[in-house]
Amino acid sequence: MEKKINNVLFITTSEGEQLTFKVLFTYHSENFGKDYAVFYNEKDENHLIVYSFDENTQLHEVEADEEFAELEVVLHAYDEAEAAKAMEKEEKGEEN
């Protein structure tokens, strides 16, 4: 079971454990005509999950290798942009 509230996704596993994921970012793929959300678990920020979602915000598993390949490119671009922002803040003497 899943429930989304204010950019937080709560998933209850089949064992009854509730997991909390936060939205890292969303994006639209022109290639696939879909919207995607990238989530991370608060307990393990290095573990990302990705779902596509429809106009009703219903989540759908990503299964196609072609979609995952595009997602890898998008994630790499996101990481580079975040690193550039952090470097810019550091150069300006701002804290993260």
Query: How crowded is residue 25: how many other Cβ atoms within 10 Å of its Cβ?
Result: 14
Query: What pTM, to 2 d.p., does this model score?
Result: 0.75
- What number is the average pLDDT over the span 16-27? 88
- CB 13 within 8 Å of CB 19: yes
What's the number of domains the chain is made of? 1
Number of C-alpha atoms within 13 angstroms, CB side, residue 15?
2
Residue 5: band (very low, low, confident or very high) from pLDDT cuts 50, 70, 90? low
Assess whether pLDDT exceeds 60 at residue 87.
yes
- CB 40 within 8 Å of CB 24: yes
pLDDT, tens digit (0-9, with 9 covering 90-100), for 29-84: 999 999 999 999 878 888 888 999 988 888 899 999 999 999 999 999 998 998 88
Structural domain range at position 77: 2-92
